């Protein structure tokens, strides 16, 4: 009996010690990842805060919103990922409606809206693309079983659907029928790994090109419309301690009326900006929880002029902001190597085609 009590005491003591260590670890992690409070700090240079949207109404807040889409009237469609719904607001941020649930739009990752109001919603968790009508009624569900074809981000351009997947670019018609599959999964130039941003626009001498935020490869890649690689900025990390990277983690991207490329750098809590030739125009933003600050932001969409909407994921909100490029902070170029340099700090690196 005494031996049993002694063993029981040892087990209780062990569990208690482990519990204390676990709590200490959680507190340490919370200290490391919790956004700073900037109640008495001015908004970061170059950012004019217009409005923060925290949910559909008081007490019914967003849960880790991943992305935002804009319709032809300028209304904002927030993919409220953790709540399995799409929330719609007008261009000033006033609530209009919301729709969806775990059955119709589970874990929405990205959304694009056609001129007719048809919506295209991707779900990484469910490996699915869902097409809904303008009222939010499901018209079609497309399931993707291959790992490298799991949907990530979607955009629309000239009557075609462009969608990044874990390792490809897929192009389809407006009914979701896939017509082309471009690129392959991997780290080499022209290959992709979890690309979390896509836009179709003019780049350099190309009247149309596909611009991709190749997230896990820490670079931006430009492809010709036939899928042939054209140019790039950045390179894959060589190790966890690699200090020669252009981005922390490039995710959502958008193009403004001047053809400039705006990229969310999630791990650096900033917006990186490049002109159409690939010249680095600097960055805007700072980590924090107050208005105008970001905490692991994941998507950005151009509204008009200098106005943008950003999904500030880990602050559980979307922010409407004006970005003033004359106040960007210049980014220190990664150290150059004597051998082949992947990244040119002045312009797009061209593949030689």
Confidence check: pLDDT of 103 > 80: yes
- At a CB cut-off of 8 Å and minimum separation 6, what does 45 contact? 284, 327, 329
What is the pLDDT, as a whole number, of residue 352? 47
pLDDT band at 32 (very low <50, low <70, confident <90, very high): very low
Q: With b meaning 16 or more CB within 10 Å and e meaning fewer, what string describes 312-333?
A: bbbbbbbbbbebebeebeebee
Type and span of the H or E element at 212: strand 206-214
For the segment 42-54, what is each residue's pLDDT rounded down to a tens digit? 889 999 999 999 9
Confidence check: pLDDT of 18 > 60: no
Structure tokens at 202: 């003019």
Report percent pLDDT > 90 for the chain. 77
* Residues 156, 152: Cα–Cα separation, whole Å: 14
Helices (H), the chain: 2-33
* Residues 247, 253: Cα–Cα separation, whole Å: 13
Query: How high does pLDDT run on average in the chain?
Result: 88
DSSP secondary structure code for residue 329 in this structure:
B
pLDDT band at 41 (very low <50, low <70, confident <90, very high): confident
* Residues 307, 301: Cα–Cα separation, whole Å: 9
As a whole number, mean pLDDT of residues 58-71 equals 98
* Residues 214, 222: Cα–Cα separation, whole Å: 10
Confidence check: pLDDT of 217 > 60: yes
Place of tokens 């709590």: 23
Strands (E), 58-217: 60-61, 67-70, 76-80, 85-89, 95-99, 110-113, 119-123, 128-132, 138-143, 151-157, 160-165, 169-172, 178-182, 197-203, 206-214
For the segment 116-162, what is each residue's pLDDT rounded down to a tens digit? 999 999 999 999 999 999 999 999 999 999 999 999 999 999 999 99
As a whole number, mean pLDDT of residues 172-190 equals 97
Place of tokens 């990277």: 245
Place of tokens 């087990």: 11
What is the pLDDT, as a whole number, of residue 38? 54
Report percent pLDDT > 70 for the chain. 82
Beta bridge mates, 270: 265
pLDDT band at 330 (very low <50, low <70, confident <90, very high): confident
Report phi then psi at 229, rounded to 5. -60, 140
As a whole number, mean pLDDT of residues 243-262 equals 96
CATH 1.10.3720.10 for domain 45-350, yes or no, is: no
Confidence check: pLDDT of 247 > 60: yes
Confidence check: pLDDT of 207 > 50: yes
């Amino acid at each position: 009996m005494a031996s049993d009590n002694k063993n029981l005491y040892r087990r209780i003591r062990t569990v208690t010690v482990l519990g204390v260590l676990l709590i200490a670890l959680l507190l340490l992690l919370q200290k490391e990842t919790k956004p700073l409070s900037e109640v008495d700090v001015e908004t970061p240079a170059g950012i004019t805060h217009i409005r923060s949207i925290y949910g559909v109404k008081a007490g019914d807040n967003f849960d880790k919103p991943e992305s935002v889409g804009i319709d032809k009237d300028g209304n904002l469609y927030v993919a409220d990922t953790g709540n399995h719904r799409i929330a719609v607001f007008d261009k000033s941020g006033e609530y209009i409606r919301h729709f969806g649930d775990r059955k119709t739009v589970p874990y929405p990752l990205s959304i694009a809206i056609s001129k007719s109001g048809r919506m295209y919603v991707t779900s990484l968790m469910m490996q699915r693309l869902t097409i809904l009508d303008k009222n939010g009624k499901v018209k079609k569900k497309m399931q993707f079983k291959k790992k490298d074809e799991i949907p990530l981000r979607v955009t629309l351009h000239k009557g075609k659907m462009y969608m990044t997947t874990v390792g490809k670019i897929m192009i389809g018609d407006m009914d979701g029928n896939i017509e082309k599959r471009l690129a392959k999964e991997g780290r080499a130039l022209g290959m992709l790994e979890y690309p979390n941003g896509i836009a179709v626009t003019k780049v350099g001498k190309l009247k149309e090109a596909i611009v991709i935020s190749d997230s896990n490869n820490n670079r931006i890649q430009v492809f010709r419309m036939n899928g042939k690689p054209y140019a790039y900025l950045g390179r894959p990390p060589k190790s966890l301690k690699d200090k020669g990277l252009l981005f922390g983690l490039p995710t959502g991207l958008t193009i403004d009326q001047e053809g400039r490329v705006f990229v969310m750098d999630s791990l650096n809590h900033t917006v990186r900006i490049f002109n159409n030739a690939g010249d680095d125009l600097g960055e805007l933003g700072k980590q924090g929880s107050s208005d105008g600050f970001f905490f692991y932001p994941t998507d950005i969409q151009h509204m008009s002029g200098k106005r943008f909407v950003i999904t500030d994921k880990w602050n559980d909100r979307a922010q409407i902001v004006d970005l003033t490029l004359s106040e960007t902070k210049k980014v220190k170029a990664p150290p150059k190597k004597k051998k082949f340099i992947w990244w040119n700090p002045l312009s797009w690196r061209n593949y030689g085609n």
